[in-house]
Amino acid sequence: MNIHEYQAKELLDKFGVTNTPGGVASTPEEAEKVARSLGTNNLVVKAQVHAGGRGKGTFTNGFKGGVHLCKTANQARDIAAQMLGHTLVTHQTGPEGRVVRKVLISQSVEIARELYFAILIDRAISAPVIVASTEGGVDIESVAARSPEKIVRMPVNPLYGLLPFQTRKLAKLLGMASGEMRLACKLFANLYKLFIRSDCSMVEVNPLVVTKGGDVLALDAKFNFDDNALFRHPEISAYRDIEEEDPREVEASKSNLSYIGLDGNIACLVNGAGLAMATMDIIKHHGGEPANFLDVGGGATEQQVTEAFKILISDKRVKAILVNIFGGIMKCDIIAQGIINAVKAVHLPVPLVVRLEGTNVEVGRRLLNGSNLPLVAATDIADAAQKVVAAVQPA
Amino acid sequence: MAILVDKNTRLLVQGITGKAGGFHARSCMEYGTNLVAGVTPARGGETFDGKIPVFDTVFEARQQTGCNATMIFVPAEFAADSIMEAVDAGIESIICITEGIPVLDMMKVRAGMAGSPSRLIGPNCPGIITPGQCKIGIMPGYIHKPGKVGVVSRSGTLTYEAVWQLSSRGHGQSTCVGIGGDPINGTSHLDVVRMFNEDPDTEAMIMIGEIGGTAEEEAAAWLADNCKKPVAAFIAGATAPPGRRMGHAGAIVSGGKGTAAGKIEALQAAGIEVAQTPADMADALLRRVARG
């Protein structure tokens, strides 16, 4: 789950992680008010979208750039007016861009040094790890490629958490002067606390800045949250912005389906994430383009299967559907009944290839045959892929 | 001989009175697994299907029945606690089926299990089966045949695909281990291939992996140096977009790491035959065996 920059700021503020003063605005008037309240003539106005590359992006109304420096509250208001309600296109939004509904007005700071500081889960050692570097403000992957020696990796023992001596060691490794250490250590400790208490999977502060005035603060923070833990974080779930998500995925999540939208025209309905990925792979191998990843899971109900089918059918890009089910927990008769119900509820507009195997397969196949649905039966996974790819070729 | 479970295994099911727990406990029993006990707190004293005693706690179940393996069907919110309960009771093999356990919970479980003789398989896994002897999990028993191929996989249904291909070609399985789709789990590909390497009943292996993490690469490096038995592999997710969690919590390409291409390269460098498509898994192994 992604969150907006202004929400990230809220989280940082909540945990006492020093960042730049600022406030969010939904109208130009609010933007002016926030700017005035900051009491500075060093302002930056930033469009709030779940995508990077805002600075170099362009609005469809012609306004250039999703990040603007300015000097007065009036200027902030005028910039906000050019952004709010308009569509920003960046190299990460796709050509259709995103509508900007909020802007963040912040105090811009005089940067002395830019550092990089991130906390992630290292799967190989089953522990959190701090990844930090004196090379901030740039893409960390290029630092890793060019100068790996400039990257510090410090594992944290999950039983003790980040110990104070570790924060001091990090401060030194990042070139902090003795006088800067206290502020840096406090930031590291509080960020770690945020990471653990919010069940994050990643926190990335890039850049972490030391200002000319000697402050240490997080200029930008990106968060990823453990989806498995959201049930115990209603405060994080509340940050969800449905407008920023693929509408097909929003619909799927209402039925608790695991769905990811892609760009192709062959829809898939599969049980099991590994098999679903492999189904996408084999469709591609045979020259087709998958339209989605969809795992109906082991415990899916007939209702969920019907809903899944409806979502696939409602995607206008879809020119054929492949159902690939190997029943373990998932029973083939449940799938078959779900397909029958879905097709009855919504007229089937495209070719349907069905491959069933596993628990209750004979019952499932009997149900499908008896339904007189216009479907193509496939024997194994290669046969299924070939048939569905053939179904989208022009006649 | 197979690995980890056989006809002597005595199975406990934690969460036996739940819908999924009960269904699969029954299914394992029908396969021939020696189911000896169930645990659901506050339901102690009941009997499952008229024959299996239900206890309130794992330590009681252990005392009364000598169970040495457990299949956990407890909701995600409480599952880490159930794993630790089984560890505390000394249960040797802990198979956790539950999906959705928070990563930080599993991190603590791993730290808490350090030095314990118990082995955790999963979570978010389909379980483990030694065909003809013992099924602990949700896999359909009928597709499996006793034989000589060891299978280790992060996936459930994709594993059944491989098993089905093997069985259809007349090649049975020694043991199939589903290690699950979570980023932090109890048993890795490497742990299992080591066991297969030592097992006299296993003559060849299939390793099924997917995007995310470095488990397959680590196993490949060890196999190159230590294993003479033929190995084939398949990696799912070559077409997955980066940065997206593909169903499994652990199936995510992060910061350019954990790609299918990287894993395939590491496997091929180790002399492992990599199947081009999921339809080719058993055939990939047969090609490798034919190469000698």
Task: Report residues of chain A scoring pLDDT below 70.
Answer: 299-300, 329, 395
What are the phi and psi torsion angles at A143 (to 5°)? -65, -45
Asked if the bond preceding A207 is cis, omega within 30° of 0, the reply is yes
Ordered DSSP codes for A375-392:
EEE-SSHHHHHHHHHHHH
Q: Helix, strand or coil for residue A63? A: coil
Q: Please give the share of chain B, as a percent, with pLDDT higher than 70.
A: 100
> What is the band of B184 on the pLDDT scale with cuts at 50, 70, 90?
very high
User: Vertex B126, ends B121 and B129: CA angle to 5°?
Assistant: 80
Q: Please give the share of chain B, as a percent, with pLDDT higher than 90.
A: 92
pLDDT at B3: 94
Q: For residues B186 and B141, is the Cβ–Cβ distance under 8 A?
A: no
> Nearest Cα to B153, choosing from B87, B204, B83, B210?
B210
DSSP H helical ranges for chain A: 5-14, 28-38, 73-83, 140-146, 164-173, 178-197, 234-237, 247-254, 273-285, 302-314, 332-345, 361-371, 381-392
**Distance from the B180 Cα atom to the nearest Cα atom in chain A, whole angstroms:** 10
pLDDT at B90: 97
Q: What is the pLDDT of residues B56-72, one digit of tens each?
A: 999 999 999 999 999 99
Residues 307 through 326 of chain A touching chain B, CB cutoff 8 Å: 326
> For the packed helices A178-197 and A5-14, what is the interaxial angle rounded to 10 degrees?
110
**Is B110 a residue whose pLDDT tops 90?**
yes
3-state secondary structure string across A139-150: CHHHHHHHCHHH
Among A127, A275, A329, select the one facing B138 at the smallest CB separation.
A329
Q: For residues B77 and A232, is the Cβ–Cβ distance under 8 A?
A: yes
pLDDT at A301: 74
- Contacting residues for B227 by C-beta, under 8 A, at least 6 apart: B193, B197
Among A171-185, A355-369, B135-149, B173-187, which is the least confidently predicted range? A355-369
Residues 129 through 148 of chain B touching chain A, CB cutoff 8 Å: 138-140, 143
Here the ipTM equals 0.92
The residue of chain A nearest to residue B257, with distances taken between CA atoms, is A141
**Distance from the A75 Cα atom to the nearest Cα atom in chain B, whole angstroms:** 37
Torsion from C-alpha of A255, A257, A260, A262, nearest 10 degrees: -70
What are the phi and psi torsion angles at B171 (to 5°)? -110, 115
Mean of the pLDDT values across residues B165-174? 96
Which CA distances in Å does B118 have to A154, B73, B75, B85, B247? 29, 18, 21, 11, 28
Q: What is the pLDDT of residues A274-306, one digit of tens each?
A: 999 999 999 999 999 999 999 988 766 778 888
Which residue in this structure is represented by tokens 């779930």?
A: A237
Residue B226, H or E segment: helix B215-226
Q: For residues A99 and A75, is the Cβ–Cβ distance under 8 A?
A: no
Question: CA-CA distance, B46 to B269, in Å (whole number)?
Answer: 55
Which CA distances in Å does B261 have to A176, B84, B253? 40, 37, 11
- Contacting residues for B225 by C-beta, under 8 A, at least 6 apart: none
Mutation pick from A151, A202, A228, A330 vs chain B, by most beta carbons of B within 10 Å, is A228
CB atoms within 10 A of CB B82: 24
Question: CA-CA distance, B233 to B235, in Å (whole number)?
Answer: 7
Q: How many CA atoms lie within 13 A of B62 on its CB side?
A: 16
Pairing of strands A320-327, A292-295: unpaired
- The reply to whether B261 touches chain A by the CB within 8 Å rule is no
pLDDT at A299: 65
Report CB contact under 8 Å: A273, B155. yes
Mean of the pLDDT values across residues B94-117? 96
The active-site residue out of A30, A135, A180, A204 is: A204
- The reply to whether B194 touches chain A by the CB within 8 Å rule is no
pLDDT at A373: 84
Report CB contact under 8 Å: A158, B107. yes
Q: What is the pLDDT of residues A219-276, one digit of tens each?
A: 989 999 999 999 999 999 999 999 888 888 898 988 888 999 998 999 999 989 999 9
Question: CA-CA distance, B168 to B148, in Å (whole number)?
Answer: 14
pLDDT at A229: 97
pLDDT at B215: 94
> pLDDT higher for A263 or B46?
B46
Q: Is A223 left (phi over 0), alpha (psi -120 to 50) or beta?
A: beta
Q: For residues A71 and A43, is the Cβ–Cβ distance under 8 A?
A: yes
User: What single-letter amino acid sits at B266?
Assistant: A
> What is the band of B1 on the pLDDT scale with cuts at 50, 70, 90?
low
Residue A110, H or E segment: none
Among B103, B106, B156, select the one facing A328 at the smallest CB separation.
B156
Q: How many CA atoms lie within 13 A of B266 on its CB side?
A: 19
